[in-house]
Amino acid sequence: METTTVKPNFLKNALVRVFSFGVLVLLLRFAYFVAVRGRSCDTSDFCFFPENLTLPRAAVRVHSTAAVSTVAAGKDAVQDLWTTKRWRKFVDYYSSVFQDLIADGYLSPDSKALCVESLTGQEVFALREIGVVDSIGISNKASPPLVVSGTASGQLFDENTFDFEFSGGGRLDQSVRPVEVGAEIGRTLKPGGFVVVHTAAKDAYSFNSFLELFNCCRLIRSRYIDGPLSPASLILEIVLKKENARKPSAHGNSDKKCFVPDHKRELIRNAEPLITEEPLKPWSTLRRNIKNIKCLTSMADISFKRKYVYIDVGARTYSSSIGSWFKQQYPKQNKTFEIYAIEADKAFHNEYKSRKGVTLLPYAAWVRNETLFFGISREPSKKIEEKGRGMGRIQPVHSSMSFTGDVDEIQGFDFANWVKSTVSEIDFVVMKMDVEGTEFHLIPRLIETGAICLIDEIFLECHYNRWQKCCPGKRSSKYEKTYAQCLDLFSSLRESGVLVHQWW
């Protein structure tokens, strides 16, 4: 009897020891993969965390099969990034932001969401983590499985694809093509969908320039929220809703009068006051006034524009104002400007052939397309090759005005129509005008046609019958207009919403 009871006990003990040893081996292998290998597996390994266990991915429809292939299993380098404290901090931050948007009704777990310029997918990860699983990001460089490759200004998605689009990190501020990015967001967003942007728009001018990027959308709210790195670094959060119809431009209407928004009127109020008393020494007075001039770019952020344009009407030589003033002194906020030099005097044309980045229009800015007389006041013994002697003035061919000096027939062009065909309300346009009295023709024409609405800032030299330097008590007979008429010209420009400065 004893032998029959000993055998089962022996077998039972042996099985328990074998099972315990097997459990110990498994535990050791588990510790190895977690602590040493970081849960990464080879195809020949037995893994507790297989590599094909990934977050749920958004089922997005794109035009390119290459883009679909980028939404694949994550690579070790990307997954290692997900474990960093900084990455996790941003994920937690965006999770909080998106949960607030869900609570306010701008986002839901059922939303199809796109994160624009999501560099490493932190925003997408946060969306999926809080239950918005149908989410994807787009950036120049793919970051699978969260971000597909593509440009924000040329998205791969169909029209009306997403219920919600998000741009964080102030990336729209840094874009060199903000207008195109705004248009693409408007194209791929469904009617009734929401776009949320985190921006560093600093003032009313840049805020309104931002809104103009989304003329398909209505502003829902804007508010400052804490930044991801420090509560002290506030970020402006803007929520927009896509409407079925595009909003009309607010810059002009059928009677061609400019609509002047409050933020532009505020800039004009903050500008230097006009000199209302006629100066006895106009040249020295206007020179001193230069230091009082407040450029628009010194008072407002000019981001969110399609392009930046400088037009020099009556440019003369390159160094007269383009090289000596605009290039060196005008505060351009690191923007690259297209430069147009309008100069009728052929004595200056050759110089511009070697000037890169400047487009010369070798004609006279005028109120219509027609042939004009262009007269240069020079001493009879001087020749046209001597640059810089005398100032050019234009008159129609049928005019009875006579010139003393060289007279040429030149082509005048409709300057107002040219402005309207070259720039738009979403561009930033600066103009300098020194045209020897022709401003009394050009400015009214710009206002009459509505072209003035497209110009943000003008540096204008107004020509009138000034007191002469040589002869105290005597006025120049070269110009018929008075200083009071110049003031009326400046005032009409400011009333049209243009920040104009008295130039010399």
pLDDT for residue 55 is more than 80: no
Residues 180 and 270 in one domain: no
Would residue 113 count as lying in a domain? yes
Using CA atoms, how far apart are residues 339 and 423, in angstroms rounded to an integer? 12
* Packed helices 439-449 and 415-422: angle between N→C axes, nearest 10 degrees: 50
Taking the model in full, what pTM does it have?
0.78
Q: Do 237 and 281 have their domain in common?
A: no
Q: What is the pLDDT of residues 135-147, one digit of tens each?
A: 999 999 999 999 9
User: Is residue 100 domain-resident?
Assistant: yes
What is the number of other CB atoms lying within 10 angstroms of the CB of residue 451?
24
Burial class (CB in 10 A: 0-12, 13-18, 19+), 416: buried
Tell whether 3 is covered by a domain.
no
Identify whether residues 232 and 118 lie together within a single domain. yes
Asked if 216 and 306 sit in the same domain, the reply is: no
405 and 268 in a common domain: yes
**pLDDT tens across 436-447, in order?**
899 999 999 999
Q: Residue 186 and residue 438: Cα distance in Å, rounded?
A: 43
DSSP state at residue 162: E
Q: What is the predicted pLDDT for the residue at 409?
A: 87
Is residue 17 included in any domain, yes or no? no
Write out the E strands in 262-321. Answer: 308-313
pLDDT of residue 358: 97
Answer yes or no: are the C-beta atoms of 71 and 57 closer than 8 Å. Answer: yes
DSSP notation for 363-400: SEEESSSEEEEEEEE--TT--TTSTTSS-EEEEETT--
362 pLDDT tier (thresholds 50, 70, 90): very high
363-367, 394-398, 419-423, 466-470, range with the lowest pLDDT? 394-398
- How many separate domains does the chain show? 3
287 band by pLDDT with thresholds 50, 70 and 90: confident
Higher-confidence residue: 10 or 232?
232
Task: Select from 211, 242, 273 the last residue of a domain.
Answer: 242
What value does the CA radius of gyration of the chain take, rounded to a whole number of Å?
A: 34
Q: Does residue 213 share a domain with residue 192?
A: yes
Domain that holds residue 468: 262-380+388-502
pLDDT of residue 204: 93
Question: Mean pLDDT throughout 311-316?
Answer: 96
Which one, of 357, 356, 306, 297, lies nearest residue 329 by Cα? Answer: 297
pLDDT band at 34 (very low <50, low <70, confident <90, very high): very low
Which residues 6+ apart lie within 8 Å of 424 measured at CB?
306, 454
Residue 307: CATH number of its domain: 3.40.50
In tens, the pLDDT along 269-286 reads 999 999 999 888 777 887
Average pLDDT over the chain reads 82
Q: Specify the CATH number for the domain of residue 156.
A: 3.40.50.150
pLDDT, average across residues 233-261: 76
Angle at 220 between CA 218 and CA 226, to 5 degrees: 130
Tell me the two tokens of residue 356.
């890169």
Banded model confidence at residue 257, pLDDT cuts 50, 70, 90: confident
What is the β-pairing status of strands 147-149 and 217-226? unpaired
Residue 30 has pLDDT above 60, yes or no: no
Place of tokens 């008393």: 277
